[in-house]
């Protein structure tokens, strides 16, 4: 297991960092205050190839590996969590699910335009009464002629009013005894009759991003829009969450780094009792913990990225990385405000936004409580990963970029 970054990794990281720091950062403070997503950011991310970063070239992507995706997430969230969230949802939860579970016609129809950045994608799992308890979802997909009629509403959906496609989960087989076997997955174009959507305002954090609801009322779909077989929806959702949790872990690591860098800078600038506050041991303790947690969180997500590159199942490892990094990011942001004192309580400084944003990662894609239960189950031997119908494809440069391996 080699965690050294290649020259290609470093070049990609530099490109994403330059975009995030130079182009996105100047827009974020006003966007956060106005609770609006800057309209120019997603098109710019598409132009840079970020929306197809780790999708094979034959499907319109850039052909990079999964570690490059993690690096991009870290750099984006070091500026603002909303940037990373957009990439997590578009690639981690949607496009990689299509790559893993989609038929060839589905990949050509949906994945290719998503990877090229021509279409934006979202993920429709959470409902008002179904978050951690996925099996409690109320959305239905009943047979109607040679297709399906979709009814239901999804809540807390990132990119709800921005995306063109949604990966929608609904109940199709209510007669089956196991509620997890009752779910199926569908790809819904948001311009279909019966689809309505809107934004949610008044959020604690992620105010520079798009979060909303999507409602389907008797939306008609052909069978060709079903992803996988009937009854495979739960397995598809869980495999997508493995990918999404990986991106959340990498992103939260970027937030730890941002909190650390901001704290170090301020600790050198601010003086009390005649010396820099960085000379005070309790301030040093806070900064030391941030530095420790950054390194540990980074190692955790790099391990998951390496496993993904090898085509190895990583449910346990992705859960652990997400749980640790999300909690550590919240702690780092909280401590950064303490370092700044009263100034940290003002949105004049970024650390205030870091704290608000960090709270979301502790909740979505499995709350910290869910991940604690998962890890306890693994440790006690109560939980074991069964084989999926297919695994996320291992990264192979010759396959991702063609036989010649050329970019």
**How do residues 39-70 score in pLDDT, each as one tens digit?**
999 999 999 999 999 999 999 999 999 999 99
**Angle formed by the axes of helices 66-77 and 281-310, nearest 10°:** 150
* 75 is annotated as an active-site residue: no
The separation between the first and the last C-alpha atoms of the chain, rounded to the nearest angstrom, is 26
Check whether residue 207 and residue 254 sit in a common domain. no
Domain boundary among 208, 231, 254: 231
- Structural domain count, the chain: 3
Check whether residue 37 and residue 142 sit in a common domain. no
Q: How far is CA 280 from CA 119, 276, 285, 337, 351, in A?
A: 51, 8, 9, 16, 20
In a domain, 402, yes or no: no
pLDDT of residue 389: 56
Give the contacts of 137 (CB within 8 A, at least 6 positions apart): 125, 127, 129, 130, 152, 169, 170, 171, 183
Distance CA 76, CA 258 (A): 11
- CATH code, domain with 219: 2.40.110.10
Give the lowest-confidence range in 123-137, 294-308, 313-327: 123-137
Look up the domain containing 325 and give its range: 235-380
Distance CA 6, CA 16 (A): 16
* β-strand pairing of 147-158 with 140-144: antiparallel
In a domain, 2, yes or no: no
In a domain, 110, yes or no: yes
Check whether residue 183 and residue 274 sit in a common domain. no
Check whether residue 178 and residue 313 sit in a common domain. no
pLDDT of residue 385: 83
* β-strand pairing of 211-222 with 147-158: antiparallel
Q: Which residue has the tokens 């913990």?
A: 289
> Is residue 209 within 8 Å of 360, Cβ to Cβ?
no
- CATH code, domain with 66: 1.10.540.10
Residue 17, number of CB atoms within 10 A of its CB:
18
Check whether residue 243 and residue 367 sit in a common domain. yes
Check whether residue 51 and residue 171 sit in a common domain. no
Check whether residue 274 and residue 375 sit in a common domain. yes
Q: pLDDT of 233-270, one tens digit each?
A: 999 999 999 999 999 999 999 999 999 999 999 999 99
In a domain, 392, yes or no: no
| Closest of 75, 381, 379, 402 to residue 247, by C-alpha | 75
> Is residue 198 within 8 Å of 71, Cβ to Cβ?
no
In a domain, 389, yes or no: no
- Give me the chain's average pLDDT, please: 95
In a domain, 253, yes or no: yes
In a domain, 312, yes or no: yes
- CATH code, domain with 287: 1.20.140.10
Check whether residue 326 and residue 356 sit in a common domain. yes
* β-strand pairing of 165-171 with 211-222: unpaired
> Is residue 323 within 8 Å of 252, Cβ to Cβ?
no
Check whether residue 138 and residue 60 sit in a common domain. no
In a domain, 107, yes or no: yes
> Pick the catalytic residue: 57, 365, 369, 406?
365
Distance CA 33, CA 23 (A): 18
pLDDT of residue 403: 46
- Whole-number percent of the chain with pLDDT over 70: 97
Q: What is the mean pLDDT of residues 158-167?
A: 98
Check whether residue 38 and residue 87 sit in a common domain. yes
Check whether residue 146 and residue 11 sit in a common domain. no
Check whether residue 239 and residue 370 sit in a common domain. yes
């Amino acid at each position: 297991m080699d965690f050294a970054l290649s020259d290609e990794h470093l070049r990609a990281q530099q490109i994403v960092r330059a975009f995030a720091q130079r182009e996105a950062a100047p827009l974020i403070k006003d966007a956060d205050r106005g609770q609006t997503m800057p309209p120019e950011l997603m098109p710019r991310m598409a132009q840079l190839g970020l929306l197809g970063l780790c999708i094979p070239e034959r499907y319109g992507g850039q052909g990079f590996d999964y570690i490059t995706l993690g690096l991009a997430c870290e750099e984006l969230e070091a500026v603002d969590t909303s940037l990373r969230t957009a990439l997590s949802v578009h690639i981690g939860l949607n496009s990689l699910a299509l790559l893993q579970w989609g038929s060839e016609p589905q990949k050509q129809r949906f994945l290719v335009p998503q990877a090229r950045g021509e279409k934006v994608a979202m993920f429709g799992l959470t409902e008002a009464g179904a978050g951690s308890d996925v099996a409690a979802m109320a959305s239905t997909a009943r047979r109607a002629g040679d297709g399906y009629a979709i009814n239901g509403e999804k809540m807390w959906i990132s990119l709800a009013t921005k995306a063109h496609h949604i990966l929608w989960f609904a109940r199709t087989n209510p007669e089956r005894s196991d509620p997890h076997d009752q779910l199926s997955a569908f790809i819904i174009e948001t311009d279909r009759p019966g689809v309505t959507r809107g934004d949610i305002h008044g959020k604690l954090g992620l105010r520079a991003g798009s979060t909303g609801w999507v409602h389907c009322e008797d939306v008609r779909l052909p069978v060709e829009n079903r992803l996988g077989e009937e009854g495979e929806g739960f397995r598809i959702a869980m495999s997508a969450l493995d990918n999404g949790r990986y991106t959340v872990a990498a992103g939260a690591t970027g937030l730890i780094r941002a909190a650390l860098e901001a704290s170090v800078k301020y600790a050198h600038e601010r003086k009390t009792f005649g010396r820099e506050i960085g000379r005070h041991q309790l301030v040093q303790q806070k900064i030391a913990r941030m530095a420790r947690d950054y390194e540990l969180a980074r190692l955790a997500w790099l391990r998951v990225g390496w496993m993904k590159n090898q085509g190895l199942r990583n449910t346990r490892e992705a859960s652990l990385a997400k749980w640790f990094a999300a909690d550590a990011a919240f702690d780092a942001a909280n401590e950064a405000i303490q370092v700044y004192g009263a100034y940290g309580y003002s949105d004049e400084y970024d650390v205030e936004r870091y704290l608000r944003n960090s709270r979301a990662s502790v909740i979505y894609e499995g709350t910290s409580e869910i991940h604690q239960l998962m890890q306890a189950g693994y440790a006690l031997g109560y939980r074991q990963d069964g084989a999926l119908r297919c695994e996320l494809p291992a990264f192979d440069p010759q396959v991702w970029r063609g036989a010649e391996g050329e970019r």
